[in-house]
Amino acid sequence: MAIKKSELYSSLWKSCDELRGGMDASQYKDYVLVLLFVKYVSDKYAGQKDAMVEIPKGGGFSDMVALKGDKEIGDKINKIIAKLAEANGLKGVIDQTDFNDPAKLGSGKEMVQTLSNLVGIFDNPELNFRGNRADGDDLLGDAYEYLMRHFATESGKSKGQFYTPAEVSRIMAKVIGIRAAKSGTQTIYDPTCGSGSLLLKGHDEAKSATGKDLAIYGQENDLATWALAEMNMFLHDCPSAEIWKGNTLSSPHFTEKGGLKTFDFVVANPPFSSKAWSNGVNTEHDPYGRFAFGVPPPKNGDYAFLLHVLMSLKSTGKGAIIMPHGVLFRGNVEADIRREIVRRGYIKGIIGLPANLFYGTGIPACIVVFDKENAAARKGIFMIDASKGFLKDGNKNRLREQDIHKIVDTFNNQIQIPKYSSMVPVAEIAAHDFNLNLARYVDSTESEDLQDIDGHLRGGIPERDILDLDRYWQVFPNLRATLFGPFNRPGYSVLKVAEADIKKTIFGHQEFEEFQQSVTKLFEKWKTNQAPILKEIAVGDKPKALILTLAEDLLETFQKAKLVDPYDVYQHLMDYWAATMQDDAYLLVTEGWKAVLDGKPNTDLITNSLIVRRYFAANQTAIEQLEADRDSITRQLEELDEEHGGDDGLLAEARNEKDKLTKASVKARIEEVAADKDAGDERKMLKDYLALIEKEAAANKKVKEAAKALDAKVSEKYGRLSKDEITTLVVDEKWMGTLAAVVQSELDRTSQALTGRIKELAERYAVPMPAIAGRVEELSGRVDAHLKKMGFVWE
């Protein structure tokens, strides 16, 4: 049986359990990723002539496997890695981590056990990279991403900066126009590349669109992280990438003709507000001309990195940098620099992100998008406040698939959405002294739910509140008249139905039924388009390409839906893909449409419940009836126990030492009172209870026998399923059935929102204040009267 992709990644993460305790995540990640690297290159290149990576004798993963249990395993692993590094010019890259360090790995038997277990986890036949391809749709890329996210999460605030969340990397790659790259000679650069995730996401974006590689350049100051980036490039089949070790600001490696080398695309996630950025930097006479607009503050390097990115772009270049929000509005020299950048039209847009996304900081950040090519003609800056679209994930926030897609669609198509995005003219920005604070231009605050004093005083639901539901009335124009009628004064309405009937009135209205049908038709249209494609999944297909097709078609289809957010529907598909469909798809492209694998029912793909529901519904109904009959007897036993099992009850003395009524204890008590003439009532109760126990046992036996018979039928049915039957079960009933239910949940959510708001308004203005005051006065008088009768009188 093929292992699920999700289970495979979990097993890799469990490898870290072997290392926890002796070191933190920022350290043990190096051990795990070095082993992943050795495993990958060994699988991919061992035994090949003229391979891109030479696997020398005694320098491959199989040599590590042979060391399991060896007393000198740590030292020998170091030597294996050294041989591999020597043969491929990777000295100082993959040999930075010491596998013979007792301070981290323990000594003696502890080290042997730890490293043997660690190697054993990677020695998994399912973790085979021999067929890996550099198309972003392989085990390796996803496994690496899974591990890096977990490492960054556990590394803590000060040590997680090596990783930019993949979701943010994807947004940056998509909004700088990499898909329009014209040739493989174009370049992408990251001056603070960390582990290289931004570069690789940009590279993948270009390759998926053009089929051509971009030339990759990067620089990283931290030695361990630089080594990580180098390995990462090999792991993603980008061995020609130039990743340089060094301080970008003080010693930029990529220069030409005395200035900075320029690139077609630049991406960066530099350390926020670096206080030591100017160490070694000639700020007064920078030889690279980076500070022509002003020298950033000595204790805050945000603009130093931003200016470096700008100077590294070609005249036609496009780029993006992640910055703290302070760069948008801070004053003094930063305001001067910002003014000059805006005036020259370099900023295409700004995207505000949710707080707590990044692993090195919890503060909210933004993406500043540059476009030099169209700078001269730029008349405005496109701004997005996407700070509210995220999922809480442990102690961090994470962008969902729908959040990513909405940001990219909105930015690339320059769609202006109230409370989300706006094209802000440069003239307006200038009027605000070039302050770019997003809140000045995109008001994303929720509208306040105002109380209407006149409505509270004199009754009636304010027309303003009803008009706020206009998006519903545009779809249900006659429903409004059904629900609301005129009040006795202008500007106010009255609810025409009882509060308890609001939901029934909405759900039963013809316009609402037509709305539901229209959304259901959209889903059926999508299903008609995609189900045949899903049923033709074949061995060797690419699941990531499949989900891209499915999801984009679903999003496009539901753009026509009224009231339902198409991005919400899209997210449901992506969630189901992550939870179930992905594992199913990878199983299908590996094993094909098989109901039986390795002689066993393929229950991962086809659950027993699917087969029962389709082929043995009558049997299941019969079992449920038998269970209901048994449960009825059980309830009778519980009722007798409740009524007669207390201290003075007829069943009290029949309890065993565990205070339970059992067949044995009841029988024993019957024998004890068999000759007692005064125990007639007790004997009868005991015999009735015993009869029910025996009846329950017989009923339970019937349930078990019927269930066993059904299990046998189901198991036998797996072996007789045709491909058409399998595809029907999986595609039509499992996948599409689940997705149809989640679309229905969106309809329910829409209707519940309308129902809830109308009920809220009805309750809020149901009783005018004078009536409430009068009722209070009446009740107060009654209380006073009662108190006087009781002799309590006060002035």
Concatenated DSSP letters of 544-599: HHHHHHHHHHHHHHHTT-SSS-HHHHHHHHHHHIIIIIHHHHHHHHHH-S-SEETT
pLDDT at 5: 66
pLDDT by residue (tens digit) across 700-737?
999 999 999 999 999 999 999 999 999 999 999 999 99
Task: Assess contact for 219 and 191: CB atoms under 8 A.
Answer: yes
Burial 663-680 (b: 16+ CB within 10 A, else e): eebbeebbeebeeeeebe
pLDDT at 23: 59
What sign has the CA pseudo-torsion 697, 698, 701, 703? negative
pLDDT by residue (tens digit) across 553-589?
999 999 999 999 999 999 999 999 999 999 999 899 9
Q: What is the spatial distance between Cα 399 and Cα 393, in angstroms, rounded to a whole number?
A: 9
Q: What is the spatial distance between Cα 346 and Cα 307, in angstroms, rounded to a whole number?
A: 11
pLDDT at 133: 44
Confidence class of residue 140 from pLDDT cuts 50, 70 and 90? low
Task: Assess contact for 78 and 96: CB atoms under 8 A.
Answer: no
Q: Which residue in 337, 347, 235, 237 sits closest to 292, CA to CA? A: 337
pLDDT at 51: 82
pLDDT at 135 over 50: no
Confidence class of residue 28 from pLDDT cuts 50, 70 and 90? confident
Helix H segments across 271-345? 302-311, 333-343
Query: Average pLDDT in the 85-95 region?
Result: 90
Q: Which residues pair with 265 in a beta bridge?
A: 188, 318
Among 19-23, 73-77, 312-316, 424-428, the least confident range: 19-23
Among 185-199, 225-239, 652-666, 751-765, the least confident range: 225-239
Q: Which residue in 464, 461, 463, 453 sits closest to 502, CA to CA? A: 461
- The answer to whether the pTM exceeds 0.75 is yes
Structure tokens at 495: 């609810």
Query: Average pLDDT in the 260-280 region?
Result: 93
Burial label for 355, CB within 10 Å (0-12, 13-18, 19+), is: middle
Among 61-70, 125-134, 364-373, 666-675, the least confident range: 125-134
Q: What is the spatial distance between Cα 590 and Cα 540, in angstroms, rounded to a whole number?
A: 7
Percent of the chain with pLDDT over 70: 92
pLDDT at 270: 93
pLDDT at 193 over 50: yes
Task: Assess contact for 583 and 604: CB atoms under 8 A.
Answer: yes
Query: Average pLDDT in the 306-333 region?
Result: 96
Confidence class of residue 208 from pLDDT cuts 50, 70 and 90? confident
Q: What is the spatial distance between Cα 691 and Cα 687, in angstroms, rounded to a whole number?
A: 6
Task: Assess contact for 225 and 162: CB atoms under 8 A.
Answer: yes
Q: What is the mean pLDDT of the chain?
A: 89
pLDDT at 69: 92
Higher pLDDT, residue 4 or 567: 567
pLDDT by residue (tens digit) across 365-412?
999 999 999 999 999 999 999 999 999 887 789 999 999 999 999 999
pLDDT at 749 over 80: yes
Q: What is the spatial distance between Cα 472 and Cα 474, in angstroms, rounded to a whole number?
A: 5
Q: What is the spatial distance between Cα 301 and Cα 307, in angstroms, rounded to a whole number?
A: 10
Q: What is the spatial distance between Cα 254 and Cα 190, in angstroms, rounded to a whole number?
A: 11
pLDDT by residue (tens digit) across 168-185?
999 999 999 998 887 778
pLDDT at 539: 92
pLDDT at 519 over 70: yes
pLDDT at 2: 52
